[in-house]
Amino acid sequence: MAIKITEDCILCGACEPECPNNAIYEPDTAWKFSDGTTLKDNLERQDGGFSDEFYFIATDKCTECVGFHEEPQCAAVCPVDCCVDDEDNRETKEQLLAKKESLHL
């Protein structure tokens, strides 16, 4: 399951630098697979978790920190606990690890 940021976000930005996959973006920012990964896909996207109001997590880049850390780093640093499980995007540990490996070849 990926992590998502809820509307409780206070726009502090504490989570953004913590993500090993560069999956977290400021509001209203197009995300790219190539940001912070080894992928070459530079297409600017505004889907998959995009928000124009709050920081958001690009679902396709979130691995719940599997392969890097014991726990989701964004959730660990968020002062208002608004980085939560995304029930609509469930993945197994194996799928998350494969996703991590696909982002960092």
Interface residues toward ligand SF4, by CB under 6 A: 3, 18-21, 23-24, 57, 62-65, 72-74
- Can you tell me whether residue 93 is helix, strand or coil? helix
Minimum Å gap between C-beta 41 and ligand SF4 is 17
Minimum Å gap between C-beta 40 and ligand SF4 is 20
Closer by beta carbon to ligand SF4, 9 or else 57: 57
Minimum Å gap between C-beta 75 and ligand SF4 is 7
Closest CA to 31 of 76, 7, 67, 62: 62
Q: Which amino acid is at 20?
A: P
- Can you tell me whether residue 97 is helix, strand or coil? helix
